[in-house]
Amino acid sequence: MDVLDRARIAERIEAATVESLVGMMSAEMAESLGVAVTRLGGGLGVRMAASPGFAFLNRVFAVGLDDPLSADVLDEAVGFLGAGGGTTLLVQHPPVLETPELLELLASRGFTRGGTWAKMLRPVGDPPEAPTDLRIAEVDPAEADRFGAVQAEGMEMPPFMAPWCARQVTAAGWHTYAAYDGDEMVAIGSLFTRGDAGQLSGAATLPSHRGRGAQLALMARRIADARDLGVRWIGAETGSETPEDPNPSLHNMRRAGMTELYARQNWLLRR
């Protein structure tokens, strides 16, 4: 399997994960935050007008995987993202698909290179060794509210978004896990599966319990369970790092046996 085939797996399971997450929002929350989602160019567009700087929910990605990204699709992406009112529009594109024609098209529309996200993938295989003094377990539906609260606090989201996070616990295709210090839930992580691919999602640890191996242990449990569910590939993404700005999440992913397919380019259009 070549890099392009793996890119298609990784990009599409990420898009399916984000689409499922957005679909969990109540109609009232989605309306109040100005959230919208659309399919275009074989990929996904998502925007949140209330927080246009939150890149995870303000971008177009997984486009151009089968057919080259066209001017019509790019213009549709600009129109969709621009309707959210943000001053910077974000289109993400795998570098393996860059061509002179694509670069010319992006330049003609005013896009410039921004930072990159590390796009990660691994065959399921055996889970990594992940020693921790915390207890790792699947989340009981009765603990959904606590799961949502830990994710919201650990990811520095406003508390009113905790009920949205909590819906992962019972949503179709989702498997949710937590690390416990005694009986206290202190870290969480989710696994979303579709077909033979899975996505690591939603990792968060309370500030009081960071540095105790929770996230690597949660990755190991999710990889083991994904294997038992018949999943063949596990994807994830996180911000790329520099010597001046290291990323502990990226280090944990590497320890979990995930390899970097590519540094996915952020193409920015500043309006």
Domains and CATH numbers, the chain: 3-118+264-270 (no CATH), 135-231 (3.40.630.30)
Say what the pLDDT of residue 244 is: 86
CA distance 119 to 259: 8
For residue range 211-233, what is the model confidence (pLDDT) as tens digits? Answer: 999 999 999 999 999 999 999 99
Beta bridge partners of 259: 121
For residue range 44-97, what is the model confidence (pLDDT) as tens digits? Answer: 999 999 999 999 999 999 999 999 999 999 999 999 999 999 999 999 999 999
pLDDT bin (cut points 50, 70, 90) of residue 243 is: confident
β-pair type (233-239, 197-205):
parallel
Say what the pLDDT of residue 256 is: 95
Do 18 and 46 contact (CB within 8 A), yes or no? yes
pLDDT bin (cut points 50, 70, 90) of residue 115 is: very high
pTM: 0.96
For residue range 185-206, what is the model confidence (pLDDT) as tens digits? Answer: 999 999 999 999 999 999 999 9
What DSSP character marks residue 242? Answer: B
- CA of 79: how far to CAs of 20, 60, 90, 172, 258, in Å? 23, 11, 12, 31, 35
Tokens 């990889």 label which residue? 223
